[in-house]
Amino acid sequence: MMRSKYWFGLSFVLAAAVVAGPIGAQPQDQLTGRQIMEKVLASGDWKDMRGDLVMILTNARGQVRERRLKFYSKKRSKDETMMLMRFIAPADVKGTGFLVIEHKDRDDDRYLYLPALRRVNRITASGRGGNFMGSDFSYYDIGRPKLDDWVYKRLQDAQWEGKDCYVVECDPATEQIRKDTRYSKIIRWIRKDIFTTVYAEYYDKDGDKWKELRVPETKHIGGIWFATHMIMKDVQIDHTSEMRFENLEVNVGLPDRIFTVRYLQRGL
């Protein structure tokens, strides 16, 4: 059976992001919006992964900033993962770390370590909509979205850059989700063959288009479909954040101690 992966890590995206789903036996033209998202978010057979990440930030004047990170991810259970991201360059952000520990039945734990202050800050649920380290990805985007945070509506199928896609509208399940994420809705274009998001539109609290996510590249690594190139653009201020994953390795035997607040505080 074919399996596919997509990391929202980094929508994630990051956010994520690696999330994935097996292509089921149900006729695809009968799938509901929620069933499509279940396949996108369902977990595959991977255990852990690590790699390098390049983040490129470009403002409306064309000024560019580049940041480099290490990232690590490991499954806690079938529906829960852990992720650590560590900045290694440039000097002004070096040592900064971000840790996400997912929980199936409650809010995920998110921690940000700032080496200049030698302090770990916990990102509360109300802070999930804030920008991650000055990028156009929010703290909510860095990691896997919770399925029940949203209500799904399947829209008319469409093509994106020559690929047949499902189009799914995701509306906040509660007013609190809308407030915390700052999204009034998200519309995703999802490739039918490998169940990965290739394009998405994010709308602000007033219903205006706020951000666009493009995924120009996915690679099949260790049996996993991985979004190795993601571009998030804030169309309201003409600011772009680009993420490129490099040197990805799957199932390398990462220890649990990497994904702890104590390890996060150690810096580099």
What CATH number does residue 238 fall under? 2.50.20.10
Q: Which of 23-32, 115-124, 197-206 has the lowest mean pLDDT?
A: 23-32
Give the whole-angstrom CA distance, residue 185 versus residue 129.
13
In the numeric block, which tokens belong to residue 243? 């993420």
The reported pLDDT for the residue numbered 45 is 74
The reported pLDDT for the residue numbered 14 is 41
Model confidence at 7: pLDDT above 60 = no
266, β-bridge pairs:
none
Q: What predicted TM-score, i.e. pTM, was given to this entire model?
A: 0.86
**Between the CA of residue 189 and those of 59, 95, 144, 156, 213, what are the distances in Å?**
26, 35, 17, 10, 10
Give the whole-angstrom CA distance, residue 189 versus residue 218.
14
Is the preceding omega at residue 90 within 30 degrees of 0, hence cis? yes
Q: How many domains does the chain have?
A: 1
Give the whole-angstrom CA distance, residue 53 versus residue 248.
9
Give the whole-angstrom CA distance, residue 240 versus residue 153.
28
Contact 52, 68 (CB under 8 A): yes
Give the whole-angstrom CA distance, residue 192 versus residue 160.
11
Model confidence at 28: pLDDT above 80 = no
Model confidence at 35: pLDDT above 90 = yes
Q: Dump pLDDT digits (tens) for 223-267.
A: 777 889 999 999 999 999 999 999 999 999 999 999 999 999 886
Q: Dump pLDDT digits (tens) for 166-185.
A: 999 999 999 999 999 999 99
Contact 72, 52 (CB under 8 A): no
Model confidence at 154: pLDDT above 60 = yes
Model confidence at 18: pLDDT above 50 = no
The reported pLDDT for the residue numbered 215 is 96
113, β-bridge pairs:
97, 120
Which residue range(s) make up the domain with 12?
A: 3-265
